[in-house]
Structure 1
């Protein structure tokens, strides 16, 4: 929860916010601490970014670390975060100077992430409010300005008027004009009867720890959170939602998704409640698995027992083999040149040879019931001057010698 008040003139603009950090427990808002950061100075801009602080901190950290500090880049990142984490809890207001005149940008998921530009005419004073209790804050500021109160008094009264568990701590105000960006005002916000989460939980003998890197709140539910994510442990089990500091990798562990790791584009690894594993791009060593389906990959030194493959290709080059259930096809330069296995026509083992086009069968050897048959045009050996054409029966040399011997002509004796 946060509030942001902007007072804009043509050549001068002020932007201020509070530092309260709140938490919702059993649908009631409590104050967690007053160390929240809502305003960021980036080059010639002061940026208000708040809502879900886990997302806001991560978003601004990655934006500041990046090289592109344009308003358009921040808009794209805001949209990316909100869509990725299914959230509309990031509000952004930006104050800067353009051509020696003030300019205010608004980026909100409720406006479809459009960049809304606000300018002030000479002699006019405009107020813009973002965050919670916006109407009350605007009414207080406008009344103070009509009463010609000083800028610091306007901010102090506005934040004092709307302070509650979600708004408070300190008021921090920056001023932007042709002379640059300066911290203009900071002071404690006057608060009354603020409900702190540790006061509620202490009666239940529970632990509250506030550190520089996160917050831990435990009741019948244990919550550990920082800007990178949240871990929740309750009666349903453990729930983890975490992202890398650059926002490019996110992890979910819960009783619904079980385990899911994703990048900005897609889920890259997941295990569902039935034990199904989905993984993209990786090295897998010493895996024992049943009923494996693999799509598009390179597999090296694989030892398998009783592997069943309906169709397997040996490489993605133009020279490869394809293994079918009953035969193997050999491809050269992308064309089918030979098929070895069972001939579907007569259910006999055969070797089929194809021409350069890969379509026309130019020769074959097919097993018969007692001898192999040869078809097609065959050249026995280059230079042998012995060619075979058409359907021909072949015989071994021993068989031919025996036939010649048994049919040898013996002239009658004199």
Structure 2
């Protein structure tokens, strides 16, 4: 069952319903799925139908296919299928307790310019109840789970000035439960047209419990059972000292409860098996799977063709004789921490996530015993500290915490841009608070540049390798080259040395040129020899 709320305001009809489907097991409600459509635009009206999910789908499918979309015909179809549905002993006993609502329908439309609603429900023995709302009158009516609370709450929100669509969202968010949730489907009618509003995701409670099933997996089976079955009472019930086991050819086999849905063990006619506790034993008597203890002994099983594996701990002991490795390892994040340290000490590790590889040194701020996702304490299996276990071996596995200010990224490998434009970049050093004082290596298209900007001031010192040549730069800094021997040759070109805005010395294949700004002072401890075909002195 779900919730349908209809509001008549400003001569418009606003009608909405959620998409949740639930079930009850031993007095506790569970959500089954969120894919049940319960409100339909048919001709000049909007029809809400809900209750038993399979029965509702059978009824609305037949009504939509009919040429006769009258309220009377809708009632006839509802009554006909409900009578067939209640012919089954188990179903009749279940719904006769009055705990569950079998079926209910609320139709909204305009007649002669007035907003009208028709209700057909089990609660009123499927009689057609017509409600007409006068023009310029505001009214809120609800049917289904918490209908009285819902209508009062929505009416108050509208009275307080909350916009109608927001009021609907707030109401369904407040009343969300195992029976109300999923998507909010809403229609607005003005007597001339019917407008569908985009679905809104209802905010679910953290306490929501699930027992997932495929939507409408039993609908066709129930339909054929109601149309074709003509043998009743052909069943088997075994009892002994309070225990019970039943087999009904139209339902399945179950044990441990009077009703199929409440049984801790059951098998339906499609072969779907439910068991609260199970142990799967291998040919040698070993336990392969124990559902009560919650483990699978992978040492005695082989897994093949795994599409996706999600694990808290992954250990590869030996794959090949010459070493153990993981082939083609793909993870969302990988951290490498290889030693135990105390609070206040530093630890070096590598952090890999997304398109970053970070070499980090960090000071440990907290050190506590690690826990798994089920809050169980973790220990190392032995002194090698390779395999984690929840068994208390006395060798504690620790979890370290760091303050953001104490985490220093000493080296980072990443990409700038993406796709064909992606550029590999490497940052080395933590730098200063201006972003300078570290090395940046960047491999761009057509070149590679290694750059350092001086601390505080950001003066560039770089080597730039590109398709046209090599550029070396030391802004406002000294360039020093020390060598036992120094050889610098320019092939098929010129060699030029000079001072910006000052003297220049240039060698070319045809000669040499000196352009001296200022005095020229030549000193030698030996002979100075000048040879040339012509020597000109001016």
Match of residue 137 from structure 1: 150
Q: CA deviation at 1:186?
A: 2.4
The reply to whether residue 243 of structure 1 matches residue 223 of structure 2 is yes
Matched with 2:125 is: 112
Residue 226 of structure 2 corresponds to residue 255 of structure 1: no
Q: Distance in 2 between matches of 1:189 and 1:164?
A: 10
Aligned-partner Cα distance in 2 for 1:121–1:99:
11
2:185 to 172, 185, 189: 172
The yes-or-no answer on 1:228 pairing with 2:220 is yes
2:13 is matched with: 13
How many residues are matched?
227
Instruction: State how 1:14-413 maps to structure 2 within 5 Å.
Output: 14-86=14-86, 89-198=102-211, 210-211=213-214, 213-214=216-217, 226-229=218-221, 242-244=222-224, 248-250=227-229, 254-255=235-236
Cα shift at 1:248: 4.0
Please say if residues 24 and 30 of structure 2, whose CA atoms lie closer than 8 Å, have aligned partners that are also in contact.
Answer: yes
Q: 2-side partners of 1:104 and 1:70: how far apart?
A: 13
Residue deviations 1:338-381, cap 9 Å, x none? xxxxxxxxxxxxxxxxxxxxxxxxxxxxxxxxxxxxxxxxxxxx
For structure 2, the residue ranges without an aligned partner over 5 or more in a row are 87-94, 96-100, 238-246, 251-538
2:154 alignment partner, SS class? helix
Distance, in Å, in 2 between the alignment partners of 1:212 and 1:130 is 23
Query: Is the partner of 2:171 in helix, strand or coil?
Result: helix
Match of 2:526 in 1: none
Report if the CA contact (8 A) 2:54-2:216 is conserved. Answer: no
What's the secondary structure of 1:41's corresponding residue? strand
RMSD: 2.5
1:14 and 1:176 in contact (8 A); partners too: yes
Contact 1:23-1:197 within 8 A present in 2 as well: no
1:54 and 1:213 mapped to 2: Cα distance?
A: 6
- Unpaired runs of at least 5, structure 1: 199-207, 215-225, 230-241, 261-414
Cα pair 1:8 1:14 within 8 Å, conserved:
yes
Quote the residue 1:368 is aligned against: none
Displacement of 1:14 in angstroms is 0.9
Map Cα deviations across residues 109-138 of structure 1 (whole Å, 9 max, x no partner): 221211111111122111110001112211
- d(CA) in 1 for partners of 2:193, 2:228: 37
Distance in 1 (alpha carbons) for counterparts of 2:80 and 2:158: 38
Deviates more, 1:54-63 or 1:76-85: 76-85
- Report the alpha carbon displacement of residue 166 of structure 1 after superposing the two structures with TM: 0.8
| Equivalent pair of 1:137/1:161 in contact (CA under 8 Å) | no
Q: Provide closer, same or farther for how the CA distance between residues 137 and 213 of structure 1 changes in structure 2, counting only shifts above 3 A.
A: closer
With structure 2 as the length reference, what TM-score do the two structures score? 0.40
Cα distance in 2 between the residues matched to 1:197 and 1:250: 32
Contact kept in structure 2, 1:55 and 1:81, CA below 8 Å: yes
For 1:145-180, what per-residue CA distance to the aligned partner results, in whole angstroms no more than 9, with x for missing partners? 111211101101110111111101111110112221
Alpha carbons 2:20, 2:182 under 8 Å: kept: yes
